[in-house]
Structure formats: structure tokens, C-alpha cells
């Protein structure tokens, strides 16, 4: 959704229109619904207090996503919110059994997605779901375009492994096996 502020759309209305996107991006970072809403709330408060720094006619969505991301990582450093899945806790909860008809449960996909490191989650979500270009995602993440591409590719490959989405990999995997797979990959 492109929200460009024009004379007839206030800054506040633009922010309101983008709240669903902010919640989805926040959820992908925090992996928890309640924390995501707290993060969006903090983002909006910061955006309002820095309203004068937003340049009218530029991309409000990217600006807000950047604030949200910075707020997330700032909070992560202070509160040690996020613990990456180094010990396979998330993965141990994951038991993916691909249906015989090939239809995957969305909850299984979400669980697998949540085992990814935060840098891969954000890159994949921005490019794959939020409709951002690689350039926009790189600007939001504060890194090079090539870094975003690399993260997206690694995220896709890992999800394909975890969810048995490769054409030559049709079997079933329990949580223990998945944990071992992830452990081997992160070692």
C-alpha cells in the first residue's frame, strides 16, 4: 500500500492507514502478537514526536517501518527480548508433517518462519510479503542490497528444507529431526 501524504491526507491519517502493515512487520520481528502491538504503539509515539523530521511526499511506510525496526533492535539490546533459536527451542516445538495432498498448514509455515534469525525474517517479510523492493528493504534494514538478497535467499532455502518443499525431499520429519537439522546448519 503506497501512502503518500498529500494535502488532503494528514500525517495522522497516513499513520492510521499503515497500522495493519506495522503490526504484521512487528509480529514477524517479535514473533508474539502482544509484543508486536506494544512495538507498534512505541513506533507511533516516536513517529508523532518526530513528525517534523518526516519529509512530506516521501515514503511514509518505509519511514515508519524503519522506526519500528530500530525500536525493536533497541529494545532487544536493552531487554534481551529476543533469543535466537540457537538451542532449537522453537524448532523443537515444530513438527511438520506435510499433508499427502501437498497442502501445508499455515500454522506450520509460521512456526518454521519463526525459527529463522531476525535478520532473515525481516528481509524475507519486507520483500516477500510487504511488497518492498530490495532497495527499500536495504534502506529500512540499514544494509547493502546484496545483503538483503543474500538473507532472503538463505531464508527461502532454510524454509524449503524445514518444510520439505524441495521436489526431491518428500518425507516426514519430527521435531527432534528438525532440531538436529537446524543445529547442524547453525553449528
Partner 1 sequence: MTGQDPDMNTDSEQRIEANLKKVYEESMNEPMSDQLANLVAQLREKAQPGNGGAADG
| Segment lying near partner 1 (by CB under 8 A), choices 61-69, 84-92, 122-130, 138-146 | 122-130
Each residue 143-162 as x (binds partner 1 by CB under 8 A) or -, in order, gives ------x--xx--x--xx--
User: CB 172 → partner 1: shortest distance, Å?
Assistant: 17
Residue 33 contacts partner 1 per CB under 8 A: yes
Contact at 8 Å (CB) between 99 and 82?
no
For the chain, what is the radius of gyration of the CA atoms? 18
Residue 170 contacts partner 1 per CB under 8 A: no
Q: What 8-state DSSP symbol labels residue 9? A: S
User: CB 179 → partner 1: shortest distance, Å?
Assistant: 21
Judged by CB under 8 A, the number of residues near partner 1 is 51
DSSP-based three-state secondary structure for 99: coil
The grid coordinates of residue 79 equal 531487554
Beta bridge partners of residue 173, listed in sequence order: 96
Contact at 8 Å (CB) between 182 and 161?
no
d(CA 9, CA 150): 37
The grid coordinates of residue 40 equal 507498534
Each residue 68-107 as x (binds partner 1 by CB under 8 A) or -, in order, gives ------------------------------------x-x-
The residue from 127, 141, 179, 182 that contacts partner 1 (CB under 8 A) is 127
Q: Rounded to a whole number, what is the distance in angstroms from the first to the last CA of the chain?
A: 39
Please give the full DSSP string across 67-80, using - where no structure is assigned.
HHHHHHHHHHHHH-
Interacting residues with partner 1 (CB under 8 A): 1, 5, 7-13, 15-16, 19-21, 23-24, 27-28, 33-34, 36-38, 40-41, 44-45, 104, 106, 109-110, 113, 124-125, 127-133, 149, 152-153, 156, 159-160, 163, 165-167
Amino acid at each position: 500500500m503506497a501512502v503518500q501524504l498529500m494535502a488532503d491526507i494528514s500525517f495522522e491519517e497516513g499513520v492510521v492507514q499503515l497500522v495493519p502493515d506495522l503490526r504484521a512487520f512487528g509480529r514477524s520481528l517479535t514473533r508474539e502478537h502482544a509484543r508486536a502491538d506494544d512495538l507498534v504503539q512505541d513506533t507511533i509515539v516516536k513517529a508523532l514526536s518526530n513528525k517534523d523530521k518526516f519529509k512530506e511526499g516521501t515514503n511514509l511506510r518505509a519511514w515508519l517501518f524503519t522506526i519500528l525496526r530500530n525500536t525493536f533492535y533497541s529494545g532487544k539490546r536493552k531487554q534481551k527480548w529476543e533469543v535466537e533459536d540457537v538451542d532449537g527451542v522453537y524448532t523443537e516445538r515444530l513438527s511438520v508433517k506435510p499433508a499427502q495432498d501437498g497442502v501445508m498448514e499455515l500454522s506450520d509455515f509460521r512456526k518454521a518462519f519463526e525459527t529463522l534469525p531476525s535478520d532473515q525474517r525481516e528481509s524475507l517479510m519486507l520483500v516477500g510479503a510487504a511488497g518492498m523492493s530490495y532497495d527499500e528493504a536495504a534502506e529500512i534494514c540499514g544494509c547493502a542490497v546484496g545483503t538483503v538478497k543474500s538473507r532472503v535467499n538463505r531464508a527461502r532455502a532454510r524454509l524449503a528444507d524445514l518444510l520439505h518443499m524441495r521436489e526431491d525431499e518428500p518425507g516426514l520429519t519430527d521435531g527432534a529431526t528438525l532440531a538436529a537439522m537446524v543445529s547442524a546448519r547453525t553449528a
